Amino acid sequence: MPEGTVLAFDFGERRIGVAMGETMLGIAHPLLTIDTEVTDARFAAIGKLIDEWRPSQLVVGLPMHQDDTEHQMTQLARRFANRLKGRFGLPVWLVDERLTSVIAESMLQEAGVRGRKQKPALDQVAAQAILATWFDSHGSAV
């Protein structure tokens, strides 16, 4: 596994949560939420993040049903991961993201962020949980 910065994404059709971390430390931090449905705007924002953080690799959460079957969002997340790999030429890892939203809500509640105040941070904290999972397991490459 290459050392360096890692960016992680919690893909959604409207919002994409982003987190970052360093492989040496193995600690994930929420970064921001990209809030647009416009594909070009999403990838422009991601391009700026890649220019700024210079990651050695990327991680994308892969949504699955509880019984391990795929659904529509699974396919959209895979497509997003493949586009990242094609556009930016970086290794892209997929990580099972089941329960990351529940984990993110719990983390925000523990931090005293409740109700509507959670919405702006939820996706980036979910990306943080995805990256923490990847640090623990290293996922599977696209």
Tens of pLDDT, residues 86-129: 999 999 999 988 766 667 667 766 777 666 666 667 789 899 99
Give the class (CATH, top level) of 5-139.
Answer: alpha beta
CB count within 10 Å of CB 4 equals 13
Helix (H, G, I), strand (E, B) or coil at 42: helix
pTM equals 0.86
- Domain residue spans of the chain: 5-139
**Which 8-state DSSP code applies to residue 116?**
G
